[in-house]
Amino acid sequence: MKFFVDTANLDQIREAHDLGILDGVTTNPSLMAKEGITGEANIRKHYADICEIVSGDVSAEVISTDFEGIIREGQELAKIAPNIVVKVPMIKDGIKAIRWFSDNGIKTNCTLVFSAGQAILAAKAGATYLSPFLGRIDDISWDGTELIAQIVEIYANYGFATEILAASIRNPLHIVNCAELGADVITAPLKSIMALLNHPLTDIGLEKFLADYAKGNA
Ligand code: G3P
């Protein structure tokens, strides 16, 4: 199971990388805006900075919604570094563009996926990654994990090579659920990844070990 961090914050990317468990990064226009990164040149420079830290795949999202625009933008993004993955929205021209990128050796991440039907189309088009948005489905009182389970089953039925990259993760339990279901990748905020560390019995146990050591060595 691969771990990606879902942020454009360089400090958080460095922290996840230093932990030794980071396989890649995902970003989106909202995450870029959150860091105050605006304008084409600054955004490209920021992707280059992320790729300096991380050798794994880094998703960079296009903002065009027409086929020609997506191709033009994706080609430019792909030139930034060999580990850039072009993130393309799940729309008709996006699917056409994913097919084109796939035929031309450029990796893609199909984003804004909310149904199994969309997942089938993206795999047929040759997407490298598929991003179903777990948390946003939970937000409307549906069960996001059900969608992950459905896609895992469908992709296994046909041996689709597209990797399921569970996105819109909101808490550590989402990560555990995705692991149980067999998602290939999760992308999560650093907070959710770090929360996997926590267990009160670990803290209590460690405190006792250290206290007993201190007594024995007093
Ligand atoms: O990068 C896409 C995704 O992870 C968005 O998450 O929390 O905005 O639904 P969220």
Cα 85-30-168 angle, rounded to 5 deg: 70
Q: Whose CA is nearest to atom 10 of ligand 1?
A: 168
Strands (E), the chain: 2-6, 24-26, 57-61, 84-89, 108-113, 129-132, 163-166, 185-188
State the catalytic residues: 87
User: What are the tens digits of pLDDT across the range 8-65?
Assistant: 999 999 999 999 999 999 999 999 999 999 999 999 999 999 999 999 999 999 999 9
Banded model confidence at residue 218, pLDDT cuts 50, 70, 90 = confident
pLDDT at 110 over 90: yes
With a 6 Å cutoff on the Cβ, whether 136 touches ligand 1 is yes
pLDDT at 147 over 90: yes
pLDDT at 154 over 90: yes
Banded model confidence at residue 204, pLDDT cuts 50, 70, 90 = very high
- 79 C-alpha vs ligand 1 centroid, how far in Å? 25
- 71 C-alpha vs ligand 1 centroid, how far in Å? 23
Here the tokens at position 61 are: 């999202």
User: What are the tens digits of pLDDT across the range 68-107?
Assistant: 999 999 999 999 999 999 999 999 999 999 999 999 999 9
> From CA 162, how far away is CA 3, in angstroms rounded?
16
Per-chain mean pLDDT for the chain:
97
